[in-house]
Amino acid sequence: MTSSEMSAEQPGLDPAESAENLSKLAQRRRFQRRILPFIFILPWILGVLVFQAYPILDSFYHSFTIYDVFQPAKWIGFRNYVNLIENSYTRKALWNTLLYVIISVPGGLVVGLLQALLLNVKVRGLQLFRTLAIVPGTVPAAGVAAVAVFIWSPSLGLINSILEVLGLPWRQSWITDPIMVKWIFIFMTIQGGIGMLIFLAGLQNVPQELYDAAKIDGAHSLQTLFKVTLPMLTPYTLFNLLTSLIGAFQMFTGPMLMTGGGPAGGSTFYAQLIYENAFKFFKMGHAAALAWILFVICVVIVITVFRSSASWVYYEGGN
Residue 174 has pLDDT above 70, yes or no: yes
* Full-model pTM: 0.84
Q: What is the pLDDT of residue 190?
A: 86
CA gap 80, 67 in Å, rounded: 11
Residue 272 has pLDDT above 70, yes or no: yes
Q: Which fold has domain 79-309?
A: MetI-like fold (1.10.3720)
Q: What is the pLDDT of residue 6?
A: 46
- Give residue-wise pLDDT tens across range 14-26: 565 677 777 778 8
For the chain, what is the total number of helices (H) and then of strands (E)? 17, 2
What are the sequence ranges of the domains in the chain? 79-309
Q: What is the pLDDT of residue 15?
A: 62
- Give residue-wise pLDDT tens across range 1-47: 454 444 444 455 456 567 777 777 888 888 888 888 888 899 999 99
Q: What is the pLDDT of residue 191?
A: 76
Q: What is the pLDDT of residue 155?
A: 83
Residue 128 has pLDDT above 80, yes or no: yes
- C-alpha distances in angstroms, 181 versus 106, 287, 296? 19, 25, 27
Cβ–Cβ < 8 Å for 188, 222: no
Cβ–Cβ < 8 Å for 102, 94: no
- Give residue-wise pLDDT tens across range 245-255: 999 999 999 99
- Give residue-wise pLDDT tens across range 184-204: 999 888 876 788 999 999 999
Question: Who's near 5: CB < 8 A, 6+ residues apart?
Answer: none
